[in-house]
Amino acid sequence: MTQVDYIIVGAGSAGCVLANRLSQDPRNHVLLLEAGGSDRSPAIQVPLGYGLTFSDPKYNWMYHTEPDPALAQRSAYWPRGKVLGGSSSINAMVYVRGQAGDFDDWRDAGNPGWGWDEVLPYFKKSEDHVWGASKHHGAGGEMRVSEFSKQVHPLCHTFIETGAALGWQKTEDFNGEHAEGVGLWQMNIRDGIRESTSNAFLRPAMKRANLRVQTHAQVTRVLFEGQRAIGVECLVDGSTQILKARKEVVLAGGAINSPQLLQLSGVGDGALLQGLGIPVRQHLAGVGQGLQDHLCVSYFFKSKVRTLNNDLYPLHGKLKAGIQYLLGRRGPLGMSVNQAGAFVRSRADLTRPNLHLYFNPISYSGDAIKPGRMRSPDPFPAFLISFNTCRPTSRGSVQIQSSNPLSKPLIRTNFLTTEQDLRDVFEGSQLLRRIAATRPLADVVACEHMPGPQVQTPEQVMQDFRQRAGSVYHASCTCAMGASPASAVVDARLRVHGVQGLRVIDASVFPFVTSGNTNAPTVMVAEKGADMVLQDHA
């Protein structure tokens, strides 16, 4: 049996940050347990490799949601990273913190210390921004944030000019003074290599003698003495091990697996657990409830000019891109295809942007997701414009269906169950067409390829949305932070209500999903959470 000070479950976006910070003091002995394996594969390290890992069971939990009536009874595919770096090793690398108001909302929901002014220093702490230190950015931190204005596809600039023609402010920095407007995304990429949290935070810390990282180790249960968490039960390469923590167990398994693990450990809705024969350690009705995500639809436009499809569909194009990358770590393989976008308001009476737009100079309109297969661009020049609503109000759930830790939990998305969500989705869909019909982008549009001109009436637009919309993989809020154990799972110091020695620190503790992508806010939560752990044991 092993005994350490801290056990961290999951080496994902949050877990790698936690492992680094908690092991900075050589007196702390830290064990990081990760169900997946090594991230030393070109599919992970080469930025555009995420087309390969997107549906590769070697690196991916590959969840499927329950059929959702709002999405024409479709079950959606939800990739989640199962590898060192977690989802930061398979994501699209876009670095967006969210809107200042997102975090003020967290604070105002009963979570002191989580307002924008209080979380900004933690965003900056992690950061090694390519522009150096400023009021908004940090330099010298572990995680590189880069900009690609000289490398993005030229059509991105056409998209930005079109946004300006629609009256949107051009922004140089979505993470600076102007979070609203149209511009280019910053990315977690360092010198042409994916800047996962594994590369940024874990690898340097692995040199420390007081940090042990165990891969292929799936935690199956948290162990308790009375109400105190004292360790975990874990399957390591198929055999069960008991691992003990003197100070704390920290769950960082992500928005699907952290609530699953709590439920397997007897922390969750009492009636659910009893029904599955799991002894109830602590009744907490909120575990697995409150699931939020961003639901997105893409409109595809055939283009009169070359797009990345021309570069990446033909074999000779793929070879050229490969050589370009090998010679200088540049070109389309060295960055995300998600290159430009916008945060805008769909109605004049709104005080904050409610739509998140993406412009990709590539299209995958005919691409079905098949395990282990690279996503393939369309064989004709085309691009896509997508959107999701920033702050959806519908909420779903994650629930175990048996006491078997190896069986996948039920994910119910419950999308589009509020009037606000329906209205935002309709307005967003209309806006995509308005953009494509505005010059200069209109000049390069050959035709709308999908959904196509047959979709016209509001009913048809909504029906199309229900038939085609999908996740942008921002699952969160399933172990939400809040003061009341009646609805929340952790308190504002991320301690699980009703037990001791146990925290959750990952995207599941968000009280509301942030307005943008969720990796940067997860890293911030881990930075702040690590400080809280260390303060409480000082």
Ligand X SMILES: Cc1cc2nc3c(=O)[nH]c(=O)nc-3n(C[C@H](O)[C@H](O)[C@H](O)COP(=O)(O)OP(=O)(O)OC[C@H]3O[C@@H](n4cnc5c(N)ncnc54)[C@H](O)[C@@H]3O)c2cc1C
For the annotated catalytic residues, the residue numbers are 474
Query: What's the CA gap between 127 and 449, in Å, rounded?
Result: 40
Of the candidates 4, 7, 9, 355, which one interacts with ligand X according to CB under 6 A? 9
Choices 86-94, 98-106, 386-394, 406-414 (CB under 6 A): range interacting with ligand X: 86-94
Of the candidates 80, 137, 391, 503, which one interacts with ligand X according to CB under 6 A? 80
Choices 134-142, 389-397, 489-497, 512-520 (CB under 6 A): range interacting with ligand X: 512-520
- Cα 386 to Cα 178, 267, 297, 429, 472, distances in angstroms: 21, 39, 5, 8, 10
Nearest distance from residue 167's CB to ligand X, in Å? 27
| 224 is an interface residue for ligand X by CB under 6 A | no
| 254 is an interface residue for ligand X by CB under 6 A | yes
Nearest distance from residue 128's CB to ligand X, in Å? 17
| 13 is an interface residue for ligand X by CB under 6 A | yes
Query: What's the CA gap between 261 and 474, in Å, rounded?
Result: 19
Nearest distance from residue 537's CB to ligand X, in Å? 22
Concatenated DSSP letters for 307-361?
-HHHHHSSHHHHHHHHHHHHHHS-SGGGS-S--EEEEE-SSTT-SS--EEEEEES
Exposure string of 318-349, with b = 16+ CB inside 10 Å and e = fewer, is beebeebbeeebbbbbbbbbbbbbbbbbbeee
Task: Confirm if 360 and 337 have CB atoms less than 8 A apart.
Answer: yes
Here the tokens at position 106 are: 């967290």
Q: Is the dihedral of CA 400, 60, 243, 237 positive or negative?
A: positive
Question: In the complex with ligand X, which residue's Cβ is closer, 138 or 451?
Answer: 138
Quote the longest CA-to-CA distance of the chain: 68
Q: Whose CB is nearest to ligand X?
A: 12
| 203 is an interface residue for ligand X by CB under 6 A | no
Of the candidates 52, 70, 76, 94, which one interacts with ligand X according to CB under 6 A? 94
| 92 is an interface residue for ligand X by CB under 6 A | yes
Kindly identify the residues of this chain, within the stretch 351-390, that bind ligand X according to CB under 6 A.
none
Choices 9-17, 291-299, 376-384, 482-490 (CB under 6 A): range interacting with ligand X: 9-17
Task: Give how many residues touch ligand X by CB under 6 A.
Answer: 41
CB atoms within 10 A of CB 164: 15
Query: What's the CA gap between 487 and 510, in Å, rounded?
Result: 13
Question: In the complex with ligand X, which residue's Cβ is closer, 11 or 431?
Answer: 11
Choices 81-89, 269-277, 282-290, 390-398 (CB under 6 A): range interacting with ligand X: 81-89
Residue 62, sorted as left (phi over 0), alpha (psi -120 to 50) or beta, turns out to be left
CB atoms within 10 A of CB 279: 9
Binding site for ligand X (CB under 6 A): 9-15, 33-36, 54, 79-82, 86-88, 90-94, 218-219, 252-255, 257, 261, 473-474, 506-507, 517-520, 522
